[in-house]
Amino acid sequence: MDVATTTQPETAETGAGEAFSPFWLLSNGIAREEASAISHKILGRVVGYRGLRSELALPFDARCILTTRPAIGLMSCFEPAARWHWPAAGGIELPRYVLVRPADGRAIIEQGERRISLRAREAAVLDLACETRFRLPQLGRIDLIALDPERLPALASADAAELMRPVPRGNRGLQVLAHYGALLLRGLFPLNSAALQDLAIRHVHDLVDVVLKDRSLPGTQHIADRRASRLMAIKADIEVRLERRDLSLDMIAGLHGVTPRAIQKAFEGEGRAFSEYVLERRLERAWLRLVSDDEARLSISNLAFEVGFGDLSYFNRSFRKRFGCSPSQAKAGARQDTAR
Q: How many helices (H) and strands (E) does the chain have?
A: 12, 12
pLDDT in tens, 315-333: 999 999 999 999 999 888 7
141-147 and 97-102: which strand pairing? antiparallel
Determine whether 93 is exposed, middle or buried from the number of CB atoms within 10 Å of its CB (0-12, 13-18, 19+): exposed
**Pair (158, 285) in one structural domain:** no
* Inside any domain, residue 260: yes
**Pair (57, 125) in one structural domain:** yes
Report d(CA 289, CA 69) in Å as an integer: 20
**Pair (271, 154) in one structural domain:** no
**Pair (83, 39) in one structural domain:** yes
**Pair (68, 138) in one structural domain:** yes
What's the structural domain count of the chain? 2
Whole-angstrom CA distances from 13 to 4, 6, 57, 103 are 13, 14, 22, 31
Supply the pLDDT for residue 325.
93
Burial code of 9-31, b = ≥16 C-beta within 10 A, e = fewer?
Answer: beeeeeeeeeebebbbbbbeebe
* Inside any domain, residue 183: yes
Report d(CA 64, CA 45) in Å as an integer: 16
| For the chain, percent of residues with pLDDT exceeding 90 | 37
Q: Which of 159, 185, 213 is the last residue of a domain?
A: 213
Domain that holds residue 40: 2-213
The residue type found at 157 is: S
- Closest Cα partner for 98 from 160, 11, 188? 160
CATH for 64:
2.60.120.10
Q: Which of 153, 188, 213 is the last residue of a domain?
A: 213
CATH for 242:
1.10.10.60
Q: Residue 188 in contact with residue 307, Cβ under 8 Å?
A: no
* Inside any domain, residue 48: yes
* Inside any domain, residue 77: yes
pTM, rounded to two decimals: 0.73
Q: Residue 91 in contact with residue 44, Cβ under 8 Å?
A: no
Report d(CA 281, CA 207) in Å as an integer: 26
**Pair (66, 143) in one structural domain:** yes
Length of the chain: 340
**Pair (154, 264) in one structural domain:** no
- Residues of the chain falling short of pLDDT 70: 1-18, 43-57, 87-94, 217-226, 293-296, 334-340
**Pair (279, 136) in one structural domain:** no
* Inside any domain, residue 176: yes
* Inside any domain, residue 219: no
* Inside any domain, residue 222: no
**Pair (241, 203) in one structural domain:** no
Q: Is the dihedral of CA 203, 208, 214, 215 positive or negative?
A: positive
pLDDT in tens, 1-47: 344 433 333 333 444 446 788 888 887 777 777 777 777 777 666 65
**Pair (207, 303) in one structural domain:** no
- Closest Cα partner for 304 from 294, 313, 312? 312
**Pair (234, 209) in one structural domain:** no
User: Residue 176 in 3-state DSSP?
Assistant: helix
**Pair (187, 235) in one structural domain:** no
Average pLDDT of the chain, as a whole number? 82
* Inside any domain, residue 220: no
Q: Which of 164, 180, 213 is the last residue of a domain?
A: 213
